[in-house]
Amino acid sequence: MRVAVIGFGMMGRQIAQVFAQHGSEVAVTDENPVAVKSGLDEVAHGPYGIESAVAKAKITREEGAKTLLTVSKIGSRLSKKDRLLGMHFFNPAQITKLVEIVKTDETSERAIQEAAKIVESIGKTPIIAQDEPGFIANRLGLTLYLQASKLLEEETANIHDIDLAMKLGYNHPMGPFELADFVGLDTRLRNLEALFQATGDEKWIPPKALREMVNQGYMGDPSRRKGSKGGYHEFFETTH
């Protein structure tokens, strides 16, 4: 299978690696040539990259070498609307098992079925969503995050206890604030801004604290966000 990834930022790099590790011929391109070089470096040496996977015995050294031979630069695009659909991966794409297949009103059933087979072939589980703002997972996740933010703002509970409520009460692997720090607070802010702009619904307006944190350089987990001052705990310990 041949796969083209257009845009080699954080998610593009992860998606390219996932397909390459599962035997696909992957081509990547980005309007910024530097992004291609830095992206290939991350695929090779990053925390979820090929070297790490080999070291943890997730893949063999031979499979790792083959993966890095298959990533190159090229550009292509689809033209037939009945074949057009979205595939929404989750961060980090190398680990998370879910992929949302996003269909338009013109996407054919055959295209959806083929996309589902592709998703399954790389060891992930597909779900189907209509092309509406936020799809499924983001709308559910952001709704929880906004309610958690409201509890914090109203001083109903603190960050630690809100996170524990979801981890121990609902068996979530991470609490809403822990997850926000993991994903990146700037990413979370962009998600909410995009939903608000797309729908005009005031329920998606980002919390004031989130905007303050991003403006002041608190982007989330510093180990995942280079240059970040920290996340929720660091911000509230420093300013409150």
Q: Rounded CA gap, 38 and 27, in Å?
A: 15
| Residue 88: active-site member | yes
Active-site option among 22, 45, 88, 233: 88
Q: What is the DSSP secondary structure assignment for residue 203, as one 8-state letter?
A: G
- Cα 97 to chain centroid distance, Å, stands at 12
Which amino acid appears at position 223 of this protein?
A: S
Residues 178, 164 contacting (CB under 8 angstroms): no
Look at residues 53, 62, 57 and name the one whose alpha carbon lies nearest to residue 23. 62
The single residue listed with the structure tokens 């920290």 is: 230
Q: Rounded CA gap, 177 and 219, in Å?
A: 12
Partners of 28 in beta bridges: 5, 73
> Looking at the annotation, which residues are catalytic?
88
